[in-house]
Structure 1
Amino acid sequence: MKVSTTEPYQIIYSLLRHEYLGYLFESFVIQLNENKELTFLYQNISSKNVQEFAAGLDETDFELVKLIDEMQQEVILQKFDVRKRKPVDFFLKIYDPQKGDKGLQGAIAGYFEMIKAKILPQLAQKRLFIMGNDGNPTWQPITWMPAPTRVRFHFVRNEENTHYFPTMRYEGEKLHFRYAGGMVLCDEPAFLLVNGGLYHFEEGVDGKKIRPFLDKKFIAIPREMEDVYYRRFVAPLIAGYDVVSKGLEIRQESFPARPVLNISENFKKNGNAGTAKNSLVADPVTDSDVILSLSFQYGQHAFAFDSLAHDAHVNLERIGNDYVFHKVRRSLAFEKQRVDDLREWGLDLRNHRVTWPKAQAFDWLNENVARLKQKNISLQQNVENEKRYFLGYSSLDLSIEEGRDWFDIRAKVKFGDFEIPFVQLRRHILQRKREFTLPNGEIAVIPESWFTRYSELFNLVDANTKDEQIRLKKYHMMLVQELERDSLATTVLSRKLENLRDFQEIETYDPPKNFRGELRRYQKAGYDWLRFLNQYRFGGCLADDMGLGKTIQTLALLQSEKEAGTDRPSLLVMPTSLLYNWRLEAERFTPGLRAFLYTGTYREKNTDIFNEYDLILTSYGIVRMDVDLLKNFRFNYLILDESQAIKNPTSGVSKAVMKLQAAHRLILTGTPLENSTMDLWTQLTFINPGLLGTQSFFKKEYLIPIEKKNDADKRQRLYDHIKPFILRRHKSQVATDLPEKVESVQYCDMSEDQEKKYEEAKSYYRNLILEQIDNEGFSRSQMAVLQGLSKLRQLANHPRLVDEGYDSDSGKFDDVIHKLETAISENHKILVFSQFVKHLTLLRHHLDRKKIRYAYLDGSTKDRQREVETFQNDPTLKLFLISLKAGGVGLNLTAADYVFILDPWWNPAVEAQAIDRAHRIGQEQTVFTYKFITKNTVEEKILALQQSKRQLADELISNEEGFFKSLSREDVLGLLG
């Protein structure tokens, strides 16, 4: 029958017992008569039809209907029957008394306990009934008892056993629940139905503690089992409930709570055979882990914090044949407050403990030792741990005072009352050893912040272990400033150095009187900067763009030294090809400097003759061969031109120049960084030894973060370190002093035969390279990658560079010839650069057939200067063919106004240097540059990659970066695509 929604009705809840599932609830709507009484017209209500009766329901009813739906038989089958059986088959199988699935029965029972625990508390204001056997939902009413029922547990110990039973009181009256047909409807929290009343309990009583006594007066615990029973069952019961006893003593004890933070290392048992049972070894995985656990001491009793704990804890003591239960009252509010304090300070305890790496744990302890003391939280170490750790406050106080050429560092390191020599601690910091043994045998864990804040200082200082004197070179001024700014050190500096720290501009110096020539505005600024370095005894790197006059600025400095009375000669080291040019420039601008060319097979190996000169000119090769002779002579200035020659710190040249002695050091280069950030380390270490620390320190601190991780902060920090000692001006900054430069890209199409050759090679090398990368990894495949890409670049120029038997044409070669002939006809002078000598050879053959004159220079050219002078001075000679590597530096070719780059180089800065042969001081014409690119080849992709690979070098002073070294697997795939 259906209940009418137009007539009065009411929702009721009915309790029934399922054969297998126990006590369940159903929900019904029942029609009311004119007296608002229940009738026999009723209808089951569920989520499917609840909206029909929404007018007569409240929010609790909607929630109860939803929960009761989750108890239905079809829901149970959906959740627990993977085989999708009929209900009767499922229940008969699962609940078979002999072969039933006990595990699944338990899972289903747990599910119902969870649902009933949600339903029962919400029935307080609802009409509740027991369902009759005939299905009548209102067979017997149930009264909700609003007040909580109190339970008291009794233990009576006699000669034979211990009797255990509960008593109950409702509103002060004894509740008779034994032998009354009572039912425990839910265990946690407990709900008891007895004598038509539904009772709930104080203190969250567990129904399983009541159920045995519904039809039993007491439980007897035999003497032989009482010890175990008292400990496992009675003690927890006394802690959480009202318990009275006879023959057993329960002592109520009260103590103030004292929080204790326990520190223990994380150990595990050794599983090796024959090892003592309790032998412990450090866990290799968690060897550096520390466990911080919180407990609360009440008198002699200690309890771990537990947010779900009772407000009392019971310990059992046996005295002869008697038992005493010590019931200790706990202050859970106080315990929670201390836990909240620790969490606020960063110690987020889970289950009263946290496991941290040792460094993190002791850093936290050091930072919070004062707070812990203020809140009376004691620190305690696990007595089982062999090591005894220092748990007090540690500090490191630095003071820095200026000396003659260095800073004196005075450091006071304290661990509690112990003051430790700084030199001893420094060794630990550099070796990343965190543990330091104090005089009393305790182990102090060095704070992690000391490694991060002072690691650079410890790596850069000079430490004398004999007198424990620690010094820092003056060119580490930036580091001193940082330490003072971050309140990590106090400093005492001279007025001169204070001025240096705050200077806004470099002092202006008068040019030397006997310098012939006029310094351009930016050259005068460079000269002033060199004098500034001289004043503070700093080494420097003059890294102006090619063509801006580094030679002139250097000669002006050396002339000023002579006029200041310096009588020691200076040594200038350079590539052999530049010796002639330097001598000419010295004669032109500083004829008063006595210059000596120390070179040649038959040179006189006698440094005494150096004293007769002001400037000694020699090559890197000579220095490498004569280092044992030269290292014993002290020069005024030691200057390296094209100093990228020493970029490899392991090369013989680098090792040789490092041994030379001089009062001042200077390097000149347009490209201080070519391939790697390590190039900077070598050159900056030469001019200011120790500026960037040891090679291993620099690699770890800067090279790897910058090149492998693209760490912008590290890149900026490195720049800040080297900035005071490098002067770099780009042509764009001095554009008013130079004529215009016009750069353009000339795109060329491949000829049909050339394209066929190129595509065949591309397919072959792509498969070869990718196979090698997959088999051996990218880093071990770089030679194959370089070889393959080089072949493709040669094919993009002319297939004859790869196959001498190729007898067809090349689109680029034809375009170059046409452009050359046009430029020559217009009376221009042209520099033609190519990386490939074979390419220049092809061009030479063509020019020879056409009887067109040209100058030529590659690595095998004997008389470079003659070729340069001929081109510069002969107006009828229009062409200069130059190998890119042989002619990229050290040449003044200002007669040219056109520059042809026949093939793009990996590194755009090398191309820029080639262009600078013409676009430099002395050039009075607009310089036109043409870069020839073959379309749809690797050249076009190299052009795009050149731009994406600039950032590192651009931000670290140079305008050049080792292109190939920076390629990734994805880059190679793009180039071969």
Structure 2
Amino acid sequence: MYQNEQLTAAISNVRKSTGVTCFQVALTPGGHPALLATTDPADNLSKKTAEQLSAFFSQGYATGLLHLSVAIQDKTLPISIKFWRQFSRLFITSLCYMTGGSTVMLAAVQPPVFPMIEMENLLATAPFMAGSEYLNADVLQSLWEDLWQALLATLQKSALDFTAWLTQYDSTWKQVGRICFHLAENKRDPNAPFAFLATYVTHLSQQGTLSYVPLGRALQEYTQDQRQLLALLLPIQKAGQSNEFLKQLIDTGSIFKPLAWRAKEAYQLLQAIPLLEEAGIVVKTPDWWKATHAAHPKVAVTMGKKETSHLGLDALLDFQINLCLPNGMLLQDDEIASILSAGTGLIQLKGQWVAVDHEKLGEVLSHWKKIARQVEKEGLSFADALRMTAGLTPLQNGAPLPIDIATWSQTIAGDWLQEVLTRLRQPEQALEKTLPALLKKHFCASLRPYQVVGVQWLWTLYQMKLGACLADDMGLGKTIQVLALLTLIRHHPLTQSKVKHPHLLVLPASLLGNWQMEFQKFAPGLRLKMIHASMTDSPILLDTAPDLSGIDLVITTYTYASKLNWLKEINWDLLVLDEAQAIKNPAAKQSQAIKALKSQRRLVLTGTPIENRLMDLWSLFDFVAPGLLGSNRAFAKYGKNTEEAGAFNAALRRLISPYILRRLKSDKRIIADLPDKTELQTYCNLSKTQSVLYQQAVLQLTRELETVDDDMKRRGLVLAYLSRFKQICNHPNQWSGQGAFNPQDSGKFLRLGELCEEIAARQEKVLIFTQFREIIPALEQYLFSVFGQAGLTLDGSTPIKERTKRVNAFQQECGPPFFILSLKAGGTGLTLTHASHVIHFDRWWNPAVENQATDRAYRIGQKKNVLVHKFVCLGTIEEKIDDMLRAKQSLASDIIGEPAVAMLTEMSDNDLLAMVSLDIHSVLTEKET
């Protein structure tokens, strides 16, 4: 079983240092719940509960979950902990039904089967919490099996049987599953179409199945033991005190006999199910009756049968009200008349038994007729229809349907709307055959199959004038999919002849270089306008737009988008936000400024999980599809940890699913399309301080080259300056050796922070390699602030034994999230396969050495696709050497790498200065994000 000692130590340290008792249970990428300290007041626990959870989870995640189900009795818990308690209690309850409260030893029986319906319900109603993206049926099934092993180990250690172990925490568990009421259809007798039998469980058979015995036999078996008989019948007696029908069965002794019933008696028993289950009695009913969604006629609300002539969230759809059976089959007029004329109880329609409750049916019809009148006046928008099909009220208040209304209603997407939703939710099923040919002709890249699906999905939403959130995992190619979309818009026959406004792309300043390089490489035919001081010689005016005639795309940063007034005056065709988590705070001025921009369509890109925090999700969708999720206040109200939260979460997932496309690197559907490792050039801009220091170094090298007259001295001079240029590119203070390492002073630090924020949000791990030992402490301190926890470092001074300890710590699932290594000390001989990212913070200029370092993560034992990020400062010698290395990457390493440094020392002065000179248009001239 997995042991989480480091996590416990970390929690203990947090409590000792800060007194914090805020915790959540997060799901790790490996599919294991982990107890993590937080600073969110909503995650606050009592001191006693926090200590209990820490102690339980220190013994392993399965042991932690097991005891969470029975030992933690708090009624109010953080939403993530409450969810995992629900899951583990389902496991315990299944065991109670299986054992019937007997003292059977569990080691001799088969583990309980995970009920499929309950699994689906857990997945649908799971809260938005850390690790939501890793939650699926396979993970729950695996955890269910882990709980079984943890329980067996716990019972063996305690020397108790299951019932005794349970009742030491809560005696009510002992009553679960002892008596069972069976109700079945009796199709042979139309006058008495139901049969009833009460049983109790005596033991488990050798095959591990329950042995049911008629309850009447207990009167014979317990003749000599009245106390045992009274204990057995106690749940029935308890239920009978609150229900007259059950009381009559007990008083007349009928409860001990098989009974033939009319529909009236069957209905009375079905109505009493909640009371019986509360008393600890199991009730087995026909398949068509479920206590949580009883079989009764429903009000069927159908929307979008016909195609709308107008597209977008405000498109108006048709709306119809009818009655249907639980399976969705619509009823005819004569069948509706039968329902209305029948008394309250069970009736049979189309071969199905349904319960009729005139009062409830009238309330639900009244609710929908009121909405119908409102729709008749105002129309039903596409957004309202999506809200209703998801189980939310229409007209933008964002509330879930009242439980009574939802239970007695069935919202149905009509033919046209269903076709649209299928195309959006399952884009791989609706690929347009003409798209690959168009892209092959106009786009300079071959897309992977899952990327073609992504472009098709984006194109469908674009055509429908709907917003989109492309949330693919880092490294799956969000940028290239957007470039392909823009190429399609430019060349597709459906859009080519239309007068189009330009598109606008807003991104962090640190990504300007990356996007510019990708455009030049993959979509050189698109006409760009870069709005940034580092990208143009022309002045950028606050109120006057430049000439945009013939421009396909304008690219600018969040800072410029917040202050340039003319950007707000243009009605952009497609407005794209990269790293869209920049607007996750709806109250921030930057978020409000971005949302004020006008556009016909909107698209956000983010590699950060959008479901970890509910209000972040609202803010993103307030941009993507304004009004879809209702008001901020209403959304926050229903998203809180209340009884309505489960239904709200399930409805919310259904509502946003057409607008979100997210594929993980671990997704079985796409992993075959991916290489085992993906190498990415990560371009960084210099800060103003860096560019000044770099330019000064170039000028100083120029003067010194004029005075040196010895080849050896000249070689030493060049090598010294090469190292100096690298240090300045890393951080100005690495070269100067003075002051603190302010991240804002280094383009590499800023880009490292952005990357690691995504990695931290996904609970993944990263290796960072540098050839400069002196910068490791600054990197460690900075990444501590990003991850919120300490990482590991390793350099030439680290003792051998300590290296082994640190490697082992990193290889633990909940071990430190980052490991900073000097290239010489950590580049060989270590196995660090828990990292799914490798960052080369500075370059060795020798691919063989870099590849050896990368292979610390990418080697036998690695089960993930590894992303390799190679940092390159634009406009500097780093970019020029990188271009040279990639141009010669097919040659042997004796042509590039170490000899490349020697080659630089042997260049003429003019060639050398051309190599190291600064391209001023590729660096930032101001600090911004």
TM-score (norm 1): 0.34
- Comparing both chains, which one has the higher relative contact order based on Cα–Cα distances under 8 Å and sequence gaps of 6 or more? 2
As a proportion of its length, which structure holds more helix?
2
TM-score (norm 2): 0.36
Whose radius of gyration is greater, 1 or 2?
A: 1
